[in-house]
Structure 1
Amino acid sequence: MDRVTEERPTEPLTQHLQRISRRVRAFDQRHPLVWDLHLTGFWVVAALIDYYGDGWLNVARDRDNPGWLVLTLSLGLSVPLLRRRTHPRAVLLAIAPFALVNAWTGIALQAVMLQLLVVFHIALRRPTRNLWWATALITTPNVVLAARHPQGSPDQDIVPVLMSIVVAAAIGITVRTRRDHTEALEDRARRLEIERDQQAQLAAAAERARIAREMHDIIGHNLSVITGLADGGQYAAAKSPERAAQALHAIATTSRQALAELRRLLDVLREEDQPHEPHAELTPQPSLTDLDQLLNGVRATGLPVTTTVHGSPDLPPGRQLTVYRVIQEALTNTLKHGGPGSTAEIEMSYDEKGAVTLTVTDTGRGGPAPSHSTGGRGLPGMRERTALYGGTLEAGPRPHPEQGWRVHLHLPEETPQ
């Protein structure tokens, strides 16, 4: 039976080289001295081979120079390269006397071309203006060599050096430009990542605020209704057992409804569905068509509520939810703070362009407007919902001599997108 083997896709050569290059750069950043010692050691060995192998005699203009001088110049032109990356200008100045002696004596060691490595690092790490004096510093020994030990036209000693300097500087500038461009892209990526995280945090904060509003509206209203029903049932228990049973039944119904709404809200908050659990059953947010059910629940607690509607409530779901929640919160506050014998009145007006005016008044005890320091979510939640549609909300005690509380909402007409 033949064995079937899965062949891995061949990695492109460019990606392989880029990965190796990244590893080399990362190692060099962690251990820069290792690379500097290896490269400097290579050029020092090359210069010494040129000295011990008498290769320098093939290009020397004057062969009658002592060996110690040739050895000294070979080391002086190569050893300073160890600091070429950190102090390129100082290295070039350190090499310059050896290069000048090399030209003056006519030894003409080829190790003098190692100055081009320093030019590359000046172009890579220093301001461009430094290239002018570096060019003059490198060219001067060649002028001296052409003057003291002429060999053919002077251009043969000067022009090739100038061209080599231009090439080394161009390579350094190109590498520097690419490096700066890469750093700019990386900085942009970092800033975009920070901005993305900030946007995510803002979205999470907005979502937490929305969830807090929904939980406050659901739990706060239903608990107020349950409290009113419990108080009424306790009062009726001694005189009318049937009314007490009705109150208990209404409490149970309201509790189950609140629990179901809270469970649906918490199901929406789950980040992901469990593989062994069915998807959460989602229901739409309440709208003005559910207003009768809300008012019936409030009336069951003993709070009389009358409604007056002008116009047809043909509104988008978001605006309907805002009106619904404001009515719910206003009635909840009446149940909490209105006291016995309170009544509530709701007046709503709609126009054809989508503007809404809502006024909820009650005849309870009223009182001063709660401050934000108390930690309440009712009025801030209503104002946040209203602000989403550019509306205004006024809430406070009714003017003297009237008694009670008044909530006035106005949503302007919808602006076309």
Structure 2
Amino acid sequence: MTAQAPRPQTTAAKGDTSALTAHVQRLLQRLRAFDHRHPLVWDLLLTAFYVTASLIDYSSGGWHTVARNRDASETLVLLICLGFSLPLLWRRTHPVAALLAMAPAALANAWDGIIAQAALLQFIVVFNIALHRSPMTLLRAFAVIAVPTVIGAVRYPEDSWDQQILPTLWGFVMVVLLAVAVRTRKEYLASLVERARQLEVERDQQARLAAAAERTRIAREMHDIIGHNLSVITGLADGGSYAAKKNPERAGQALTAIAGTSREALTELRRLLGVLRDDTPNADLTPQPGLTDLNSLVDGVRSAGLPVRMTVRGTPAHDSDTAGRELTVYRVVQEALTNTLKHAGPGATATVDVSHSDTGVTVTVTDDGRGAPTVTPGGRAEAPGGRGITGMRERTALYNGTLEAGPLPQPTGGWRVRMHLPEEPAP
């Protein structure tokens, strides 16, 4: 029978490895953060470490084991070791200058046949040059290292050239490849960070655009709800004050209509504000008005004193009249009749024609008013900051429709608003 006991141990081992890796990554992040805040501390520690190692190699006489000239001056060996190790302090801030500062020590080291191990410290500077400088600078750095190597090979040709030059060449190539890999990873991480920053900026911009669009939508709804109902109330109040002198009963009817219209406006306003304030997904939302509510809308306008004749022709080709399209039709008719109440003057009449066809729905609202104010290029003049016609155009544009608003030709006069919403493809 096959035993399956080692599986939990393997999982536990993976968990221990992941924990160790996470711990090492956190430690490296702390070291990088400390180095970023205090770069001089790390440079001093690294330089002190290699100066100490070079002095140990000098004092212990270890350089004799590889030197081709064991009779070289001890003082010269000391100066060469310090010449290779001390410039490491500037390896990150001025790597090219540090390598040039090592060049005299490299020439003396090759010419006198000392071959101090401290010469390998040049590769640390080469790593920083490959990490931060251009390829042309890297080629110059290779020349600075190659020239002393060739001089030493010519002056002390005991060993073959491949044993003297190839190790330096391969060491240079390996250090450069390592630096390129580190540089590529840094640039990739930097690009990810920049991309994340751009996404945050785009997210904030989208949020601001969405907030602006929502404010516009709310302003449009508030304008349609409050503007229309206040216009109806104003018409009822004017008619009631006129009728109070001759027919108190009609004045009472006007007051009753004013109360009903006010309650309807308050209900719609509370519903709108409730939607804005309620963040719960189960909020009780009353349906928005649609085509079936046009009759009650027209009745309310009639009660305000404006005679309105409404005609509905045809039926939708299919169920493409969604709630949003029906709301657009309703609001355009509402705004057009509200403008008639405000601007058409006494004795005006209005006509509402809703026509369904294969090409879409067309709504035409006309009046024969004579009291319209001066016409502006955007349509019937509105109060400063008015958004009536602008709101109708915005609603129509949401469904790729067209809206025309302007005066009728003389001598008939009056005003016409015509909206067409094209038929949407059947699902």
- Give the equivalent residue in structure 2 for 1:177: 184
Query: Is 1:292 aligned to residue 295 of structure 2?
Result: yes
- Tell me the alpha carbon deviations over residues 107-155 of structure 1, each in whole angstroms, 9 at most, x when there is no partner: 2110000001111111111112333332232122222223323443232
Compute the displacement of 1:215 (Å): 0.6
Please give the secondary structure, in 1, of the residue aligned with 2:364: strand
Specify which of 274, 280, 285 is matched with residue 267 of structure 1. Answer: 274
Whether contact under 8 Å (2:345, 2:372) holds in the other structure is no
Task: Judge which range, 24-33 or 38-47, deviates more.
Answer: 24-33
- Tell me the alpha carbon deviations over residues 323-348 of structure 1, each in whole angstroms, 9 at most, x when there is no partner: 11110001111111122211111112
- Give the equivalent residue in structure 2 for 1:192: 199
Specify which of 320, 332, 340 is matched with residue 338 of structure 2. Answer: 332
CA separation in 2, counterparts of 1:190 and 1:295? 54
Q: Calculate percent identity across the aligned residue pairs.
A: 62
- Give the equivalent residue in structure 1 for 2:7: none
Distance 1:12 1:212, change over 3 A: same
- Give the equivalent residue in structure 2 for 1:301: 304
Specify which of 48, 61, 69 is matched with residue 54 of structure 1. Answer: 61
CA separation in 2, counterparts of 1:162 and 1:372? 83
- Tell me the alpha carbon deviations over residues 186-229 of structure 1, each in whole angstroms, 9 at most, x when there is no partner: 11121122112212211111111111111100000011111111
Specify which of 383, 387, 409 is matched with residue 419 of structure 2. Answer: 409
Whether contact under 8 Å (1:62, 1:107) holds in the other structure is yes
Please give the secondary structure, in 2, of the residue aligned with 1:129: helix
Please give the secondary structure, in 2, of the residue aligned with 1:239: coil
CA separation in 1, counterparts of 2:312 and 2:259? 31
Please give the secondary structure, in 1, of the residue aligned with 2:406: strand
CA separation in 2, counterparts of 1:341 and 1:170? 91
The one-letter amino acid of 1:171's match is L
Specify which of 378, 381, 394 is matched with residue 388 of structure 2. Answer: 378
Please give the secondary structure, in 2, of the residue aligned with 1:359: strand
Whether contact under 8 Å (1:366, 1:403) holds in the other structure is no
Task: Judge which range, 356-365 or 306-315, deviates more.
Answer: 306-315
Compute the displacement of 1:366 (Å): 2.2
- Give the equivalent residue in structure 2 for 1:318: 324
CA separation in 1, counterparts of 2:124 and 2:352? 87
CA separation in 2, counterparts of 1:334 and 1:71? 102
Whether contact under 8 Å (1:62, 1:106) holds in the other structure is yes
Compute the displacement of 1:371 (Å): 5.6
Please give the secondary structure, in 1, of the residue aligned with 2:135: coil
CA separation in 1, counterparts of 2:143 and 2:414? 93
Query: Is 1:356 aligned to residue 361 of structure 2?
Result: yes
The one-letter amino acid of 1:29's match is H
Task: Judge which range, 26-35 or 37-46, deviates more.
Answer: 26-35
- Give the equivalent residue in structure 2 for 1:346: 352
- Tell me the alpha carbon deviations over residues 264-323 of structure 1, each in whole angstroms, 9 at most, x when there is no partner: 1111112634xxxx9642111110001111111111111110012221146222221111
CA separation in 1, counterparts of 2:140 and 2:305? 97
- Tell me the alpha carbon deviations over residues 83-116 of structure 1, each in whole angstroms, 9 at most, x when there is no partner: 1112212211111111110111122110000001
- Give the equivalent residue in structure 2 for 1:78: 85
Distance 1:408 1:119, change over 3 A: same
CA separation in 1, counterparts of 2:327 and 2:412? 30
Please give the secondary structure, in 2, of the residue aligned with 1:374: coil
- Tell me the alpha carbon deviations over residues 244-275 of structure 1, each in whole angstroms, 9 at most, x when there is no partner: 222111111111111111111111112634xx
Whether contact under 8 Å (2:372, 2:380) holds in the other structure is no
- Give the equivalent residue in structure 1 for 2:120: 113
> TM (normalized to structure 2)?
0.89
Whether contact under 8 Å (2:236, 2:303) holds in the other structure is yes
Specify which of 44, 60, 74 is matched with residue 67 of structure 1. Answer: 74
Please give the secondary structure, in 1, of the residue aligned with 2:260: helix
- Written as runs of structure 1 = structure 2, the 5 A alignment for 1:390-409 is 390-409=400-419
Please give the secondary structure, in 1, of the residue aligned with 2:358: coil
Whether contact under 8 Å (2:380, 2:406) holds in the other structure is no
Specify which of 88, 101, 121 is matched with residue 94 of structure 1. Answer: 101
The one-letter amino acid of 1:158's match is I
- Written as runs of structure 1 = structure 2, the 5 A alignment for 1:146-157 is 146-157=153-164
Equivalences, count: 404
> TM (normalized to structure 1)?
0.92
Specify which of 230, 241, 252 is matched with residue 248 of structure 2. Answer: 241
CA separation in 1, counterparts of 2:245 and 2:232? 21
CA separation in 2, counterparts of 1:16 and 1:249? 77
- Written as runs of structure 1 = structure 2, the 5 A alignment for 1:156-167 is 156-167=163-174
Give structure 2 stretches of 5+ with no counterpart: 1-14
Whether contact under 8 Å (1:344, 1:362) holds in the other structure is yes
CA separation in 2, counterparts of 1:312 and 1:175? 70
Please give the secondary structure, in 1, of the residue aligned with 2:165: helix
- Give the equivalent residue in structure 2 for 1:19: 26
The one-letter amino acid of 1:363's match is D
- Give the equivalent residue in structure 1 for 2:40: 33
Whether contact under 8 Å (2:401, 2:422) holds in the other structure is yes
Whether contact under 8 Å (1:220, 1:332) holds in the other structure is yes
Please give the secondary structure, in 2, of the residue aligned with 1:406: strand
Whether contact under 8 Å (2:68, 2:115) holds in the other structure is yes
CA separation in 2, counterparts of 1:197 and 1:15? 32
